[in-house]
Structure formats: structure tokens, C-alpha cells
Chains A and B, each alone.
Chain A
């Protein structure tokens, strides 16, 4: 079955530091890949997505590239802000519509 493995947290960075959160996946076929962000007490919000190999998703300074050869979708941001503190989830959706499979989440704390 499908699975997503995320870098374990928590991750604590200083403001303006570089962020990488690793994500690798196992799936049959050609899944779509997503990063979601969850702020305290809220639901998940889509941060970015990529639907085929070598696609780069980007939003709000965050980027992730769909790497089929390494089955990875690592999240990066060049300069984090305090407001980026949240839980980040990597997810995939299989070739047929239906459930998404989520990683366990990585908690990011950015200190001023």
C-alpha cells in the first residue's frame, strides 16, 4: 500500500534560517504529492502540490520538487519567519481518487 515517511521533529530554527523537511513516499503508479500546514487548533491547509515527476510546487516562499527517482518531495524555505511555526504534513493521493495518505507531521518552531 501507499505510505509517506516524514522527517521526525520537532524542528526548532532561528528566524531567517534555512528550512528543509524531508519526505519520502512509497506508492504504486503516479501519485500526486502535497504539503499541508496545520496551525494550532485549526484544520489542514494546502501549502503546495505537484502532480507529476519533476514538477515544483511553490507557495509563500516554500518549495518542493517531485523526485520520482528518489521518491521524495522535500519541503524547503530559504528564510523562515516566526509565523511559519506550525505542523507540516506531507501527503500523497493515489492514481485513483480517494483517500490521501499522510505522514506523521513535523512540528516547526521558529524563534525570533
Chain B
């Protein structure tokens, strides 16, 4: 039973380019969460999605960032016109349906974005 998959593991972009980060949740999981970890800091919530719906995007920057979780395929976190401050590790997590707070989240290995 594969865990949460994220790709790419490492992504290098120049300022102004677009970054696309992909996350495939664990089999049977329908809830996906994206977190950002800046160097030497904890994880900060960005967005919570269920299939085809954004449930909570309170942690998403208002501009340049967007996320989707289509009916088919992985969840995508998209960062347009990247800046150096976007350099961070981006983690995806998933949890099973039912929506109970007692369900822990299962994390992927992360995508480490470096903006030159």
C-alpha cells in the first residue's frame, strides 16, 4: 500500500517561472492538505482540499498560489511567478474520508523548491 507520493522531490526554478508540485494521496484517502516549511521553521498550513473542492484555503497567499484536487489525478499546488521567498519544502498530507479530527494525517516526503 503506497504512501503519499509527491513529485518532484526537488525543483529548481528561476525568479518569474512557474512551479507545479504534485501530490497523490494514499489509496482510499479523499482529503488532501498542503503545508509549507521554511528553513528552520515548523509547518504552516496552506490549503485543505477534497475531491474537486477547496475546503479551507486560509493559509494560502492571496496572489500567485493556487491548488486543485481534480476528480481524476493528483492534487496540484501551483506557484506562478516564483520569488526567492517561495524557496521552502512543501509537504502534502492525506487523510481518509469521514472527516474526523482523530484521523492523523499521512505525510509525503515533500518537494523542496529552490528559487534562484
A interface residues with partner B (beta carbon < 8 Å): 6, 31-32, 34, 36, 42-46, 49, 51, 89, 93-105
**Set of chain A residues within 8 Å of B43, measured between Cβ atoms:** 44, 89, 102
Closest to A107 in B: B40
* Pair count A-B, CB < 8 A: 69
Binding site for A on B (CB under 8 A): 4, 6, 31, 33, 35, 41-45, 48, 55-56, 58-59, 91, 93, 95, 98-110
Q: How far is the CB of A39 from chain B (nearest CB, A)?
A: 11
Q: Which residues of A contact B31 (CB under 8 A)?
A: 97
14 further contact pairs, Cβ within 8 A, besides A43-B108, A102-B35:
A36-B107, A43-B4, A44-B93, A49-B104, A89-B43, A93-B101, A97-B98, A97-B100, A97-B103, A100-B33, A100-B45, A100-B93, A104-B41, A105-B42
A49 and B99 CA atoms in complex are apart in Å by 17
Decide if B104 touches A98 in the complex (CB within 8 Å).
Answer: no
